[in-house]
Chains A and B, each alone.
Chain A
Amino acid sequence: GSSKEETTQTGSSAEQSSAAELSSEDIIKAAAENGSVGNWGLGNEYEVLALLSKYDLGSDYLSQDFTMDGFDDDSITLASAMTYNELGLVKNDYDGGYGYGDSVEYIDMNDEGVAMLEDNIFCTEDFAKENPNTVAAFLYASLKGWEYAVENPEEAAEICYTYGSSVSAEHQAYMAEEVAKLVTTDTQGETVTDIGNMDEDAMQQTLDIAKEYISLDDSDADAALQSLTLDDIRDSSYLEAAKSSDGTFDVEKSEVSIQLKWLPDAQFMGYYVALDKGYYKEVGLDVEIVAGGGDIAETTAVNNGTVDFGVTWVSNLASANAGGMNLVEVAQIFQRSGLVLVYKPENFE
């Protein structure tokens, strides 16, 4: 306990003295040469790879396990963190957090121009074609949920709780705040008002980075990936139908499910709010939210029909389609990358 606070203080004083002078390029170079850049891999690494390549650095990085312990003990000096999750744990000193406060700094992928878009809503193309109204209705209600959630993050966090969230209350509140930022700000830092919008430039950038850094051993799949265009992975017609609707739908399938990308928490607060506030009911849908976070990838689950909708990242969707699935993104919830590389300035003096 006490030792933690001391380090925190020395950390922050060190920061004031010198680290501010270092550019992000210096830091990345120093960390990469040290072999101590961290990422989780498993499809989370492309932005980091793009960043490394931007500065002509090798593509080696250390694998981070679930924890930030590697960052804590300095075996990883430049660690990946999602703004709405790991970054909070690093900074905050609530139960489970590492309590570094503002003594740590980070490099934002959006600022570096290597941002990739994350959480979206998708389904199979066949499903969308057969159930256009259901898709539109689902989007309508979900977006309504998200709108409410970003305006009332505190309440949204509490709602997540009632649906079996598995994080602590303080962290949930923090997450909700940060997720709201991702939903309402784009890669350029501009405020976004039409939630769910599939921004052409950002998506193209995401796809381009994906094409460059996703390496597939399967040569057929690799060729398919290289020839993917935005039209192969997204369809904005359902979003338009939802936006232009008056809120009444003639749904083809009323019982639908959505598989999240991870365990239930505020990262997915929009859906929980929509469910809790009865938005889904209003459009005639009976929605089941299936928690993710595991070894049955959301793309697989949607593709084999176990669930109807899924939340995934654009890059995952691209590689799945390259592998032979036929999935379409129907809305883009997160408008900017949530990935940052966090570091302790004193390590780079």
Chain B
Amino acid sequence: MSAEVYKKKKSLYARAKSSKKAQAAGTIIFPAILGAVIFILWQSQGLHKILNTDLFILPLPTKIISLIGSNFADIMVNVKTTLIEVIGGLVFGCLLGYLVAIAAASKPNIGKGGLAVLGAFASVPVVALAPVMNNWTKDVSSEAEVRSMVAKIIVIALITGANMCLNSYRGLINLPPYAEDLMATYAAKKKWVLLKLRIPNSLPYVFVALKIAVPSAIMTAIVSEYFAEYISGVGREIRENIVLAQYTTAWAYIMIACVIGVGAYILLMVLSKAVLKNYPKQG
């Protein structure tokens, strides 16, 4: 009767026995299976029936892919812009969020409010934040390309920062029982407690945060591109083409956004496997 929940346990043992490679393969194979199913549904127009939509709004994948093929160079220019924004925003945002979390964890009295305030920034909708940032960064550079990149990166950084902050904060304070006492008996300076205890303890939490931060950075990039001064980017193209009712082209860019997302996800998984290899397996 209680088989289900423990079936997993058994398979866990089984998996532990099987090689690590097989496990890694599963991470790719299972999504690939579902991907194939979706692809077939989509191509055979079954998806259109399910979603009650037509070929116009949801063109066939083959058509989308051939469009990507014939406009590859153009598309890459936009992909580059978006990637720079996403990576820049993620790096700054996650660092910012993590630093605020560290401040909050080491000086809870002062720092905790910082969490709420950073959260408040994340609550200002991108539609409002993006134009404000455009204005605030006008003097950054005389090059429109540069200053609008900076504006977009700031927006992404604020949005992802808030989420990194919330999750890593928990990782920085939910320490193993008595670990803080242990450090106290060594009269470890705050720096050491941070380096040897809090930061390592927070790493699994950081990856949870990244799992959310990566897609939301891409999403924010796409939306903030609508408002950017310099015309470039995947999001901008999606919008232009939807306004022009060019859904095939729009979907081509959406697909590209998804590929970026999946690439980032795989990267994240690989990274987390490497960084968390010494940590007890979760679940």
Q: Which B residues, 100 to 149, have Cβ-Cβ distances below 8 Å to chain A?
A: 130-131, 134-135, 138, 144
Residues 244-257 of chain B, each 1 if its beta carbon lies under 8 Å from chain A, else 0: 11111100100000
User: Is A300 engaged at the interface, CB distance under 8 Å to the other chain?
Assistant: yes
A324 to B246, CA, bound (A): 9
User: Is A192 engaged at the interface, CB distance under 8 Å to the other chain?
Assistant: no
Inter-subunit contact A297/B231 (CB<8 Å): no
Inter-subunit contact B243/A43 (CB<8 Å): yes
CB-CB < 8 A to A316: which residues of B?
243-245
**A: interface residue count bin:** 20 to 34
Inter-subunit contact A323/B228 (CB<8 Å): no
From B138, B144, B231, B246, give the contact of A217 (CB < 8 A): B246
User: Is A291 engaged at the interface, CB distance under 8 Å to the other chain?
Assistant: no
A218 to B70, CA, bound (A): 9
CB-CB < 8 A to A64: which residues of B?
229
A35 to B135, CA, bound (A): 18
A41 to B244, CA, bound (A): 11
A320 to B246, CA, bound (A): 7
Inter-subunit contact B138/A73 (CB<8 Å): yes
Q: Which B residues, 31 to 76, have Cβ-Cβ distances below 8 Å to chain A?
A: 54, 56-57, 67, 70-71, 74
Instruction: Tally the A-B contacts, defined by beta carbons under 8 Å.
Output: 91
A188 to chain B, nearest CB (A): 29
Inter-subunit contact A323/B56 (CB<8 Å): yes
Inter-subunit contact A65/B252 (CB<8 Å): no
Most buried by B among A42, A217, A299, A325: A217
Inter-subunit contact A320/B57 (CB<8 Å): no
From B70, B229, B243, give the contact of A65 (CB < 8 A): B229
A332 to B53, CA, bound (A): 30
Inter-subunit contact B243/A63 (CB<8 Å): no
CB-CB < 8 A to A304: which residues of B?
54, 57
Closest to B242 in A: A297
From B54, B135, B248, give the contact of A323 (CB < 8 A): B248
A41 to B74, CA, bound (A): 17
Known: A75-B138, A75-B144. A319 touches B249 (CB 8 A): no
Inter-subunit contact B240/A42 (CB<8 Å): yes
Closest to A219 in B: B70
Inter-subunit contact B131/A297 (CB<8 Å): no
A344 to chain B, nearest CB (A): 16
CB-CB < 8 A to A303: which residues of B?
56, 245
User: Is B92 engaged at the interface, CB distance under 8 Å to the other chain?
Assistant: no
Inter-subunit contact A217/B247 (CB<8 Å): no
User: Is B205 engaged at the interface, CB distance under 8 Å to the other chain?
Assistant: no
User: Is B207 engaged at the interface, CB distance under 8 Å to the other chain?
Assistant: no
A221 to B236, CA, bound (A): 20
User: Is A67 engaged at the interface, CB distance under 8 Å to the other chain?
Assistant: yes
Inter-subunit contact B57/A300 (CB<8 Å): yes
Most buried by B among A218, A295, A299, A304: A218
From A61, A62, A66, A218, give the contact of B249 (CB < 8 A): A218
A67 to B240, CA, bound (A): 18
User: Is B227 engaged at the interface, CB distance under 8 Å to the other chain?
Assistant: yes
A219 to B252, CA, bound (A): 13
Closest to A321 in B: B245
Closest to B239 in A: A42
User: Is A216 engaged at the interface, CB distance under 8 Å to the other chain?
Assistant: yes
CB-CB < 8 A to B54: which residues of A?
304
Inter-subunit contact A35/B144 (CB<8 Å): yes
Inter-subunit contact B57/A65 (CB<8 Å): no
B124 to chain A, nearest CB (A): 16
Closest to A319 in B: B244
Residues 90-116 of chain A, each 1 if its beta carbon lies under 8 Å from chain B, else 0: 000000000000000000000000000
Inter-subunit contact B246/A297 (CB<8 Å): no
Inter-subunit contact B244/A325 (CB<8 Å): no
Q: Which A residues, 167 to 184, have Cβ-Cβ distances below 8 Å to chain B?
A: none
CB-CB < 8 A to A278: which residues of B?
none
Known: A43-B240, A217-B67, A295-B242. A63 touches B231 (CB 8 A): yes
A190 to B244, CA, bound (A): 31
From B228, B236, B248, give the contact of A218 (CB < 8 A): B248
Known: A216-B249, A217-B74, A218-B249. A320 touches B67 (CB 8 A): no
Inter-subunit contact A63/B252 (CB<8 Å): no
A118 to B248, CA, bound (A): 25
User: Is B230 engaged at the interface, CB distance under 8 Å to the other chain?
Assistant: yes
CB-CB < 8 A to B71: which residues of A?
217
* 13 A-B pairs whose Cβ atoms sit less than 8 Å apart in the complex: A43-B244, A63-B228, A63-B230, A63-B231, A216-B244, A216-B246, A217-B70, A217-B71, A218-B248, A219-B67, A316-B245, A320-B244, A323-B245
Name 16 extra pairs, CB < 8 A, besides A61-B231, A300-B57, A323-B245: A41-B231, A42-B244, A62-B231, A66-B131, A67-B131, A69-B135, A75-B144, A217-B241, A218-B67, A218-B248, A219-B70, A295-B242, A300-B245, A303-B56, A320-B245, A325-B245
| 3 A-B pairs with least C-beta separation | A320-B245, A319-B244, A217-B249
Q: Which residues of A contact B (CB under 8 A)?
A: 35, 41-43, 61-67, 69-70, 73, 75, 214, 216-219, 221, 295, 297, 299-300, 303-304, 316, 319-320, 323-325
Q: Which residues of B contact A (CB under 8 A)?
A: 54, 56-57, 67, 70-71, 74, 130-131, 134-135, 138, 144, 227-231, 236, 239-249, 252
